[in-house]
Amino acid sequence: MIALAGVAETYQSADIQSQVTGQILSVNFDDGQEVKTGDLLYEIDSCPFQNQLQQAQANLLSDTYNLEDAIKEEARYRALYEEKAVSEEQYLQMLTNMNMLRATVERDKAIIADANLQIEYSKIVAPFDVKLSESNVDIGDLVSPDFVRLVTINTSSPIYVSFSIPEKYLDRINKSQKSNDLALTVRTVSDQEIKDGEIVFVDNSIDPNSGTIKVKATLPNQNEILWPGQCVRVSLTIYIEQAALIVPSKAMQTNDQGPYIFVVDQDNKAVVKNIDIVFSNDDFIVIKSGIDEGETVITNGQLWLSNGAEVSVREE
């Protein structure tokens, strides 16, 4: 198991801003409330946009009638031009008038679409299931797209936890993820625990200053045990080979041949055992080979021992 310090982060977060300029008519939530996707948060006065829409609709109606007349006139002038009854200049002028009216109709349609969009933007809704912060505006306030934010929204579940892992554990964690043998648990300072964490992000480089790599995990948080910004303790249980043995880290020493430990034989003498380590941390080491299950490992006083020295065994 690896013990690490982490910080809870929101899974989804956004600052809600107004996309139109206008006066706040209603605030439809309480500070800190949880809302569902599509719930109305704010309503902005849409009267100016309604007026713009009505004017554009009236213009479209008038310009459409004029265009229909121009289309008929263009057809009539074309026939006259083919019979040499009108000049080319007269026909081209009529054709130009018709095309200008067609462009005017398209402009009217664009103004109507924009007005409808402004009316839609006048109702600000929750983009997903969220928990709201304190509102920064009240009824009657004038807002605009330049206004920093109306309210901040965060999801409460699931939640991210970010932490950094020493580079020496990276290979073991990668193996544990591939074999589905990695267990991640988070505990708060008040000893509340959340299990079933899943690593979803491992950074693509190691910080040369700290020798660590940033990792992010998701955890279920239906009971809102964790809050964004909260400091937590992360426990990672990683892959351990089935035939491996675990001994305290303080038992291990190193020499030219690599890591070794002392064990006690049947004659109460210290015996050096060179070991093959697959994992280690400050608390324990995982040994793949070099000792047998049931052997007595020396964990105190081994700095002054030599191979074959007599020892006095005291059970811990």
pLDDT per position as a tens digit, 235-288: 887 765 666 788 888 899 998 888 999 999 988 899 999 998 877 777 788 888
pLDDT per position as a tens digit, 211-240: 999 999 999 988 889 999 999 999 887 765
The DSSP code sequence of the chain is -EEEEEEEEESSEEEE--SS-EEEEEE-S-TT-EE-TT-EEEEE--HHHHHHHHHHHHHHHHHHHHHHHHHHHHHHHHHHHHTTSS-HHHHHHHHHHHHHHHHHHHHHHHHHHHHHHHHHHTEEE-SSSEEE---S--TT-EE-TTS--SEEEE--SSEEEEEEEEGGGHHHHHHHHHTT--EEEEE-TT--EEEEEEEEEE-SS-BTTTTEEEEEEEE--TT----TT-EEEEEEE----TT-EEEEGGG-EEETTEEEEEEE-TTSBEEEEE-EEEEE-SSEEEEEESS-TTPEEP-SSGGG--TT-B------
**Confidence (pLDDT) at 243:** 63
The structural domains of the chain, with segments of one domain joined by +, span 2-9+155-237, 46-121, 245-304
**Domain with residues 2-9+155-237, CATH architecture:** Beta Barrel (2.40)
Mean pLDDT of 97-123: 97
The reported pTM is: 0.65
pLDDT per position as a tens digit, 148-194: 799 999 988 899 999 999 888 887 777 777 767 778 889 998 888 88
Check whether 1 has a pLDDT greater than 80.
no
CATH class of the region 245-304: mainly beta
pLDDT per position as a tens digit, 62-94: 999 999 999 999 999 999 989 889 899 999 999
The two structure tokens encoding residue 108:
């009217």
Q: Which fold has domain 46-121?
A: Helix Hairpins (1.10.287)
